[in-house]
Amino acid sequence: MSRLALAPRLRRLACEALRQHVFDPPSLAAIEAFTTAALWAGAGEHDARLIAATAVNMAAMLRLEQAAAEAQHWAVRRAAGEQLSPADAAALGAAEHKKRIVSAVCVRVVVCAR
């Protein structure tokens, strides 16, 4: 099958998936999915800004804006020579992952706003 033949079906499946998850509790995977869908929406019938705003709202509900401060807190402790426990190291990894997601959301929102 050609790309031209698959694109409408993929777009329809993506729209159905978005509708199913828009009212689910927010998750990191859902945020990434909505920001990616916002990039796709620019070429379709959906408002990319609305989809991107949904991702931003989900990120705010998970308090991802605090991720940078959390990551810095753990990194400063580690840089000061403090030995991080396995739980602390896991918290640092999770905070850094959240920080990357926030960065991706910001970039995608800026792209969709154009």
Dump pLDDT digits (tens) for 16-37: 777 777 778 888 888 888 888 8
Give the pLDDT confidence score for residue 64 in this predicted structure: 83
pLDDT bracket for residue 88 (50, 70, 90): confident
Q: Which residues contact 28 (CB under 8 A, 6 or more apart)?
A: 62, 97, 98, 101
Beta strands in the chain (DSSP E): none
pLDDT tens for 56-76 read 888 888 888 888 888 888 888
Quote the CA–CA distance of 52 and 41 in Å, as a whole number: 10
pTM here?
Answer: 0.66
Burial of 94 (0-12, 13-18, 19+ CB in 10 A): middle
pLDDT bracket for residue 114 (50, 70, 90): low
Q: What is the DSSP code (8-state) at residue 81?
A: T
Range of the domain at 13: 3-113
Tally of CB atoms within 10 A around 7: 13
What total number of domains does the chain contain? 1
Q: Which residues contact 91 (CB under 8 A, 6 or more apart)?
A: 70, 74
Q: Are 51 and 41 in contact (CB under 8 A)?
A: yes
